[in-house]
Structure 1
C-alpha cells in the first residue's frame, strides 16, 4: 500500500477497517478512524466517506485521546 498523506481521498484506503465511536448517532455526525499498515492512524468524517483523510502518528493520537479523557477539550462541546 502506498503511503497516505494528509488530505488524500479516503477511497485510496481500500484495505483498512474504519470504525467510529459507540456514541455516534444515525445522522452521520461521526469521526471515523482506521489503523494503517505503516502504524499511522487515518481519520475521516463519516458524512464524506470518500472525502479527505487526516493521518496521525500513534503518539499524536495517544496525546489527543489522553487530553480528551482529561477534559482538555470539553469547552468545545458546550
Structure 2
C-alpha cells in the first residue's frame, strides 16, 4: 500500500474495505470508512469514491464517535 497521508486519493487505498453508513440516503449524503493496516481510519465521501480520503488515528475516530453519540455536535447540524 502507498504511503498514507491526509487528502490521499481514495484509489490509492485499493486494498481496504469501505463501509457505508446505513443512515445514507438515495441522494448520496453519506460517508464511508475503512480501517487501515496501521490501525488508522480513512474517511471518504461516497459520492466521490476516487476523491480524497481523510486519515485519522483510531483514537481520534473513537473520540468523534463518542461525541456524536453524546449529542455534542447536534448544534452544528441543528
Assess same fold via TM > 0.5. yes
Q: 4+ residue stretches of structure 1 with deviation over 2 A?
A: none
Alpha carbon RMSD of aligned pairs, Å? 0.8
Provide the TM-score with structure 1 as the length reference.
0.94
What is the TM-score of this pair, normalised by structure 2? 0.94
Gaps of 5+ in 1: none
Structure 2 unaligned spans of 5+: none
In 2, distance between residues paired with 1:26 and 1:36? 27
Per-residue Cα deviation, 1:8-64 (whole angstroms, up to 9, x for no partner) = 100001111101111111211111100001110000001110000100000000000
Higher normalized strand content (fraction of residues): 2
